[in-house]
A and B are shown apart, each in its own frame.
Chain A
Amino acid sequence: MTSFVSKLNLEDFSLWKKIEDHRVPLDFYLEITARCNNNCRHCFINLPEGDVEAQNKELTLAEISDIADQAVELGTMWCLLTGGEPLLREDFFEIYLALKKKGLLLSLFTNACLVTEEHIAFFKKYPPQYIEVSVYGISEEVYERVTRKPGSYANFRHGLDLLFESGIKIKLKTMALRSNFNELSEIAKFCREHSDSTFRFDPLLHLRYDQDPLRNNQIRQERLTSDEIVAIEKADEERSMALQNNCAHFIFSDNYRVDDDFLFHCGAGKSSFTVSYDGFFRLCFGLWHPDTIYNLRNGTLEEAWNHHIPKIRNIRSTNPEFLRICQNCPIVNLCLNCPAHAYLETGSMDAVVPYFCQVAHARATALEEAIKEKG
């Protein structure tokens, strides 16, 4: 007997072929709040839990639902709920369910501290694709050095245990910080032992979206040196293999040279977008330059996707120094520089950022050595 129904295999789904020649916003990040119960030293977004002004600016359930309707209309399949700490929203369950009922496949970023039995029962009934939890430390001392919130470690471990027991798919990640540097290898070990999905850590600390100078200084203090980053990447076998396999054929060769002066060579605005807690559409989650954002409260997602993005992707660099140094850079694939990051660092989307340059060159040297060693 023939079968009419089949399990959809996302890897060879006929949709991908259909959308090869045009842009479809397949997924988006939705920051439902900028507020957080923690106060991490390195955080680029968090505002205090009780910040009434920030709370008043948050998209309402009705606004979120409307944006999601527009996204679904444009073909969106996935939505990642993030923050701040998304579980701080009193209407979190309503938001989650409203999005889910539109047929969106949901995932969640959380620090796990606020997870209760009630959340677990809810997620078991309405499963997310996965829940990703940040592990800033696996000792009270280190975790709370990062979060600056007494008692947060106990809450984190409790929430995490509840999540582990629930059988929901959990992904773990960490940030490599000055404050947890000495514990990083144990954090990595803990994450690998407790989660099947690939653990990842991020060495790049974004500067603040609100450009708060005091907080930016604190973030800079948390940054590791280029040598330290390379040392962790080397020690972290999985990651250094990935770097070698992906990058070796890109670097030390001429094949990445670009001979145009367009600012964007990345995937920003090709298949995903981000919405801020107060309704600003961004091409990617770090891109905050005022010329590139679009207020969804005064417009439509269709306008943002189909008319705003092409204008942004057409922006060209006019900075001769940037064009001379970065445009033809052979190790650009190892570099953290991009229009979003450059803007957060310098206020301009086309700038050479010395810290990024150091990290990229240190990575290149390490790679070269690794490749030589292997023969």
Chain B
Amino acid sequence: MNEISVKNIYMCSEDVVAREIEGELIIVPLVAGIGDMDDELFTLNETGKLIWDCLDGKTSLLDIIENIQREYNADTDLIEEDVLGLVGELVRRGILIDKSTP
């Protein structure tokens, strides 16, 4: 199944489009089967948005966690928990993909 590893790099799937309107993040499925219903949209909470902005398809989760830790001076374990939680959820929904697996 989808093992989330901090060593991996994740990026936005081509099956969704993420856009921002007036600071609100909206994730729009492009193809059928992303949500339970075809016209479902998604959004992220504040923490989710902060992490989302770091998922650039180039940086590994490990580096992202480190960057956030440095910037916010927060507890690394908590950040790791949040990052893994968010990425896990997004991967499960087909919104993020692991860049290393074809």
A residues contacting B by CB (< 8 A) are 1-8, 10, 13-15, 18-19, 24, 72, 75, 77, 100-105, 124-127, 129, 169
Contacts and interface: CB of A to CB of B under 8 A. Distances in A.
A195 to B, nearest CB: 16
Nearest to B82: A4
A6 B26 CA distance: 10
Given A6-B43, A8-B43, A14-B24, 20 more contacts: A1-B85, A4-B45, A4-B47, A4-B48, A8-B26, A8-B40, A10-B41, A13-B43, A15-B24, A18-B22, A18-B23, A77-B26, A100-B30, A102-B17, A102-B19, A103-B17, A103-B19, A104-B28, A126-B31, A127-B38
Contacts of B1: none
B22 A6 contact: no
15 contacts: A2-B85, A3-B45, A4-B85, A5-B27, A5-B48, A5-B89, A6-B45, A7-B41, A8-B40, A8-B41, A18-B22, A103-B17, A105-B28, A129-B39, A169-B39
B47 A127 contact: no
B74 interface: no
Ordered nearest first, which 3 A-B pairs have the shortest CB separation? A4-B48, A103-B17, A8-B41
Interface string B52-89: 00000000000000000000000000000010011001
Nearest to A100: B30
Nearest to A129: B39
Interface residues of B, number: 32
Contacts of A8: 26-27, 40-43
A18 B89 CA distance: 28
Interface of B: 17-19, 21-24, 26-28, 30-32, 35, 38-45, 47-48, 51, 82, 85-86, 89-90, 93, 95
Contact of B18 (A15, A103, A169): A103
Nearest to A10: B41
Nearest to B89: A5
Contacts of B47: 4
A10 B21 CA distance: 13
A28 B89 CA distance: 33
A18 B17 CA distance: 22
A374 B93 CA distance: 52
A127 B24 contact: no
Contacts, number: 84
Given A5-B95, A105-B39, A24 B45 contact: no
Contacts of A7: 35, 40-42
A81 B68 CA distance: 43
Nearest to B23: A18
Nearest to A130: B39
Contacts of B26: 8, 77, 103
Contacts of A14: 24
B48 to A, nearest CB: 3
A223 to B, nearest CB: 36
A4 B89 contact: yes
Given A125-B32, A126-B31, A126-B32, A4 B86 contact: yes
A15 B19 CA distance: 13
Given A15-B21, A105-B28, A5 B86 contact: yes
Contacts of A104: 28
Contacts of A77: 21, 26
Contact of B89 (A3, A124, A125): A3
Contacts of B45: 2-4, 6
Nearest to A1: B85
Nearest to A168: B38
Contacts of B42: 5-8
A272 B51 CA distance: 33
Contacts of A103: 17-19, 26, 28
A4 B92 CA distance: 13
Nearest to B51: A4
A127 B22 contact: no
A102 B26 CA distance: 12
B30 A126 contact: yes
A8 B51 CA distance: 18
A101 B30 contact: yes
B21 to A, nearest CB: 5
A104 B86 CA distance: 25
Q: Which of B41, B47, B89 has the most CB of A within 10 A?
A: B41
A10 B23 CA distance: 16
